[in-house]
Structure 1
Amino acid sequence: MGAKFEALDELFDDSLTLPFGDTEYVIPSPSAEDGLRVQKITSLAARLQSGGEAVDTTLLDDEEERDLLALCLGPVLEEMLSDGITWSRVRHAGLTAMFWIVSGPDVAERYWKTGGDPSQWAPNRETRRAQKKSGSGTASKTRSRGSTSGTSGRKGSGKGRRGGTT
């Protein structure tokens, strides 16, 4: 008999809730077809960037960018626009939803909290150095045992060394 899993509906919520002051916008999960389209668009951008090319932000014209945000935000896009939410905030919400669709809630939350500022995604040099000095960095300060092949340059009697004279 095969393994039986819990019902998928009990494991996760198919929506993303983004707060704007006192208002919360609940973005539904896109259809499978739309989700695949978003995945394809982001995969293309990632391949361009990993190949060393700077991602050209003009790859999408205004209409295509609106279409991408419509795919990501679904019916919430029109609701946000009719509520008078500014474009920069609509765009931030749309890109947050894009990260949610492609990479999950943890990545989306990190994007949301950094205001979309890429410099905030990775810790800066000072933070990384501080992390190395604390906790996990202590083990790396322990010196490794030297070679016992007799080439360490240490002077001694030579006893017990392979190839040494006795």
Structure 2
Amino acid sequence: MGARFEALDELFDDTLTLPFGDTEYVIPSPSAEDGLRVQKITSLAARLQAGGEAVDTTLLDDEEERDLLALCLGPVLDEMLSDGITWSRVRHAGLTAMFWIVSGPEIAEKYWKTGGDPSLMAPPNRETRRAQSRSGSGTANSTKRRGSTSGTSGRRATASGRTGGKT
């Protein structure tokens, strides 16, 4: 007999709740087809960025961007627009939902907390990591490295047993 798991509905809530002041918007998980479309769009942008190309934010025209947000926010998009939520906040909610769909709740929460500033999502650069390691634990390694014992430096004995440089 095969393994039997708990019902998936009992394991997690597949909604995302975004607070706007006293109002909370509950974004439902998209259909599998819509989720795959969002995944395809975002993976294209990720491949461009990984290849060193700047992501062209004009890849989507206004209608395509609205369609992407509609895929991510579902029926909540119309609710937010009818409630008079500003475009920048609707867009932020839509992109947060996109991160939720593609990468899960932890990444979505991290994006939500950035207020839309992508530089706050980036891992620290080398200089920041160095500064953190210098001020980190405060325990520097003061033990000197042992010198090479390979015999490639210093004077070598010649066949006659004499040491010296040039003959």
How far does residue 132 in structure 1 lie from its aligned partner after superposition? 1.2
CA-to-aligned-CA distance 1:125-147 (integer Å, 9 cap, x gap): 66533431313x84877666555
5+ long unaligned stretches in structure 2? 155-167
RMSD, aligned CA:
2.5
Q: What is the match of residue 26 of structure 1?
A: 26
Distance of 1:142 and 1:25 partners within structure 2: 57
Superposed, which structure 2 residues align to 1:44-63 within 5 Å?
44-63=44-63
CA contact (8 A) 1:146 1:152 kept: no
SS of the residue corresponding to residue 107 of structure 1 reads helix
Displacement, 1:2? Answer: 2.7
Structure 1 residue aligned with 2:86: 86
Paired amino acid for 1:131: Q
Q: What is the deviation of 1:10? A: 2.2
Identity among equivalent positions (%) equals 89
Aligned to 1:158: none
- TM-score (norm: length of structure 1): 0.80
Quote the residue 2:13 is aligned against. Answer: 13
Give the partner amino acid of 2:129: R
Partner deviation per Cα, 1:27-61 (whole Å, 9 max, x = no partner): 00000000000001111111122222211111111
Seen in structure 2, the aligned counterparts of structure 1 residues 88 and 2 have a Cα distance that, compared at 3 Å, is same
TM-score by length of 2: 0.80
Question: In terms of Rg, which structure is larger?
Answer: 2
Amino acid at match of 1:62: D
CA distance in structure 2 between the aligned counterparts of 1:87 and 1:40, rounded to whole angstroms: 24
Aligned-partner SS, 1:58:
helix
Q: Which residue of 1 aligns with 2:77?
A: 77
Question: CA 1:19–1:140 in structure 2 vs 1: closer, same or farther (change >3 Å)?
Answer: farther
Larger mean CA deviation between 123-132 and 20-29 belongs to 123-132
Determine the C-alpha separation between the residues in 2 that align with 1:16 and 1:70.
Answer: 15
SS of 2:2's partner is: coil
- CA deviations over 1:48-84 (Å, ceiling 9, x no partner): 2222221111111111100000000000000000000
> When the two structures are aligned, how many residues end up with a matched partner?
153
1:4 Cα offset (Å):
2.6
Residues 50 and 150 of structure 1, relative CA distance in 2, 3 Å threshold: same
Residue in structure 2 matched with residue 66 of structure 1 by the alignment:
66
The residue number in structure 2 matching 1:156 is: none
Quote the Cα distance in structure 2 between the aligned partners of 1:3 and 1:139.
Answer: 51
User: How has the CA–CA distance of structure 1 residues 143 and 79 changed in structure 2, closer, same or farther, with 3 Å as cutoff?
Assistant: farther
C-alpha distance in 2, partners of 1:53/1:130? 28
